[in-house]
A and B are shown apart, each in its own frame.
Chain A
Amino acid sequence: AQSVTQLGSHVSVSEGALVLLRCNYSSSVPPYLFWYVQYPNQGLQLLLKYTSAATLVKGINGFEAEFKKSETSFHLTKPSAHMSDAAEYFCAVSENSGGYQKVTFGTGTKLQVIP
């Protein structure tokens, strides 16, 4: 069974500092991996996805993530945090199960950006 672990339910960074949100997954087959962002009282918005092409994936708003098979990780990074990045971030893994894909979400990481 697939699973996703997000280390750190809350992360605080200073404005302009590096953002690093961690995600580790387990999957019995090559997975597809996603990062979503959720702003207060809104749905989830896709940031980026890994679909077995390039291991370094660039997304919206300056975010990127690197797929590392040996570490079963898909950490999300952004070189310089902006106040508008404050939100909750979810990592998700998708694998084929019985002919259709099954998506499992992590528990989320709330990012606080300190001015």
Chain B
Amino acid sequence: KAGVTQTPRYLIKTRGQQVTLSCSPISGHRSVSWYQQTPGQGLQFLFEYFSETQRNKGNFPGRFSGRQFSNSRSEMNVSTLELGDSALYLCASSQGEGWNTQYFGPGTRLTVL
């Protein structure tokens, strides 16, 4: 099976712009979670989608949003970018029901100038 894929791998934006990141989960996985990783804050949970519904949400402002499509692919959007949004954004997929393991993609490195 192909692993979790994320596009793009690298992105450079300026303050005030918006950005959309994409994640394709492992085939058959219905849950997609998003994390922000920074040197200062570590791994922080953004949100999780399961069967096109947001099931769980972390403590991030409303500028961070996401969605999931019927094929389980997910997108994450950040509007009005701030310098502090520079981070590695990781996507993880899992089967989503019962006990299961999260499998991570390689991440998207976002730099905000």
Which residues of A pack against B, CB within 8 Å? 32, 34, 36, 41-46, 49, 51, 90, 94, 96-97, 100-105, 107-108
Asked whether, in the complex, the Cβ of A43 is within 8 Å of the Cβ of B4, the reply is: yes
Asked whether, in the complex, the Cβ of A43 is within 8 Å of the Cβ of B104, the reply is: yes
A79 to B105, CA, bound (A): 29
Asked whether, in the complex, the Cβ of B104 is within 8 Å of the Cβ of A94, the reply is: no
A86 to B88, CA, bound (A): 20
Partner of B106, one of A42, A51, A103, A108: A42
The answer to whether the Cβ of B62 comes within 8 Å of any Cβ in the partner chain is no
Asked whether, in the complex, the Cβ of B104 is within 8 Å of the Cβ of A44, the reply is: yes
- 6 A-B pairs in the complex with CB atoms less than 8 angstroms apart: A41-B109, A44-B104, A100-B55, A102-B56, A105-B43, A105-B45
A107 to B38, CA, bound (A): 11
The answer to whether the Cβ of B26 comes within 8 Å of any Cβ in the partner chain is no
A36 to B88, CA, bound (A): 16
Asked whether, in the complex, the Cβ of B56 is within 8 Å of the Cβ of A49, the reply is: no
Asked whether, in the complex, the Cβ of A107 is within 8 Å of the Cβ of B99, the reply is: no
Asked whether, in the complex, the Cβ of B56 is within 8 Å of the Cβ of A100, the reply is: yes
Interface of chain B, main secondary structure: strand
Question: Contacts A41-B109, A43-B4, A105-B43 given: A100-B96 contact, CB under 8 Å?
Answer: yes
A42 to B35, CA, bound (A): 13
**Which residues on B sit within 8 Å (CB–CB) of A51?**
99
Q: Give B41's nearest chain A residue, CB to CB.
A: A107
A51 to B99, CA, bound (A): 8
The answer to whether the Cβ of B42 comes within 8 Å of any Cβ in the partner chain is yes
**Which residues on A sit within 8 Å (CB–CB) of B27?**
none
The answer to whether the Cβ of B81 comes within 8 Å of any Cβ in the partner chain is no
A43 to B106, CA, bound (A): 4
A102 to B50, CA, bound (A): 13
